[in-house]
Amino acid sequence: MSSVTQQPFRTAVLVLVWGWLLFLVLTPNLLVVGASVMTRDPGSFLSLPLNLDAYRQLMNPLYLDVFLHSLYMAAMTTLICLLIGYPFAWALTKVGKQRQMLLIFLLIVPFWTNSLVRTYALKLLLATNGLLNNALMSLGIIEEPLRMLYTEGAVIVGLVYLLLPFMILPLYAVFDDLREDLLRASHDLGAGRLATFVHVIVPLTLPGVLAGVMLVLLPAMGLFFVPDILGGSRNLLVGNVIKNQFLDARNWPFGAAASIVLTLAMAFLMFAHRLSKRRIGEDGV
């Protein structure tokens, strides 16, 4: 029934779609895997002897430090986003439905605005003679301007600022699904507020937490322009290392290996997310 002559349109659609995805998604990803096990070559980027040098190089203390520091900043970003976002998503479900739509809209406005420009706006606030310092000094809270820009804290603030909506939206989705009767049942069965929170609310919102963590943690390791603008040279992300290795040092195997480690981290988080969904009996997509 589905022969080529009978359904030329179907065939054309499938060829186009497959062609695009195979050429621009599958092939490039395989190339990166291939590049990560090849040898660095100054002329043609890569040469043949296959080896795991690039992965070994990742274990080099110099890079390991950068990686761990980046992981630390990403983890702090995720934690802060979670601490702000969890009660935020909960509070969102407490206001009227009409107002909720408006508030969600206000939350995605930043998602549609240029992230570079928003990072730059933070720079206006955090600079040594910037607005925040001026405000604090004129209020008499501090005597001397604080050095806020080009610090680890500035990078974390920048990442939180850019990524917070990505934590809130999946959390809002699970809180919105949270059924009031379950909470009442927990209360009727004699559970206090804390017990209800620990045994009912936390497990039911866990998939949202993990989705949020996934959407924040990984970008928080890759957004290289945030340290470039706010962090100075000592607070680098994995993204900065990958970018430098590819565009400046021309060490492709190393850059590729670093990006594969990021991808594996993503796969691991996605796996955890699926498990958590299955546990509460909602089959993951």
Q: By CB under 8 A, which span of 51-59, 61-69, 197-205, 253-261 interacts with another protein?
A: 253-261
Name the phi and psi angles at 41, rounded to 5. Answer: -140, 120
> DSSP alpha helices (H): ranges in the chain?
8-21, 27-36, 53-58, 61-92, 97-112, 115-126, 131-138, 152-177, 180-188, 193-196, 202-217, 219-222, 225-226, 238-243, 252-279
How many whole angstroms separate alpha carbon 196 and alpha carbon 156?
32
* Dihedral angle sign, alpha carbons of residues 248, 250, 253, 256: positive
Q: How many residues bind another protein (CB under 8 A)?
A: 81
Q: What residues between 164 and 183 interact with another protein by CB under 8 A?
A: 164
Q: How far is the CB of 263 from another protein (least distance, A)?
A: 6
Nearest-approach distance from CB 49 to another protein, in angstroms: 19
Closer Cβ to another protein, 76 or 137, answer by number: 137
> Radius of gyration (Cα) for the chain, nearest Å?
24
Residue 16 sits in the site that holds another protein (CB under 8 A):
yes
Residue list 208-237, contact with another protein (CB under 8 A): 214, 218-219, 221-225, 228-229
Residue whose token pair is 């983890």: 75
Among 3, 5, 114, 233, which residue sits at the site for another protein (rule: CB under 8 A)? 114
Q: Phi/psi at 234 (nearest 5 deg)?
A: -100, -10
Among 69, 123, 187, 250, binds another protein (CB under 8 A): 123
**Contact pick of 79, 136, 178, 270 for another protein (by CB under 8 A):** 270
Nearer Cβ to another protein, position 11 or 152? 11
User: Min. distance of Cβ 280 from another protein in angstroms?
Assistant: 21
Encoding tokens for residue 267? Answer: 């796969």
Q: Which of 47, 51, 60, 113: binder of another protein (CB under 8 A)?
A: 113
Which one of 52-60, 75-83, 98-106, 276-284 is the stretch in contact with another protein (CB under 8 A)?
Answer: 98-106
Q: How does DSSP classify residue 127? A: S
